[in-house]
Amino acid sequence: MSKKENPMRSGKDDHHLKAAELPPAKLAVITVSDSRTAETDTNGIYLKSQAIQNGFTISAYHIVRDEPTEIDSLLETLVKTEVNLILFNGGTGISKRDTTFDVISKK
């Protein structure tokens, strides 16, 4: 039924129909941590699981140390790939050691 046939249909409905036709968004999940491994990264595991359940494709997953040069290098690499969304987690505590926000905010 077209919008003319159904005047109650909203722009939101059109948006959802168009979005359903698109391929899944490609997501990179990045955990910033000096101590996590792929086995102990519970937040990264959770985020990947939720993303997949909600229709995303996980195109990249990395654990990077909380070092500004390493975070910056990984970010620069990922923006040159097919990834549509880069999700950072971890590295957000309140200490001089946590640099994630400082690095990303400069981009």
Neighbours of 27 (CB within 10 A): 21
In angstroms, rounded to a whole number, what is the distance separating the alpha carbons of residues 90 and 107? Answer: 18
Contact indicator for 80, 51 with CB cutoff of 8 Å: no
Model-wide pTM > 0.85: no
pLDDT score, position 94: 67
Mean pLDDT for 102-107 is 82
Q: How confident is the model at residue 1 (pLDDT cuts 50, 70, 90)?
A: very low
- Residue 88: exposed, middle, or buried by beta-carbon count in 10 A (0-12, 13-18, 19+)? buried
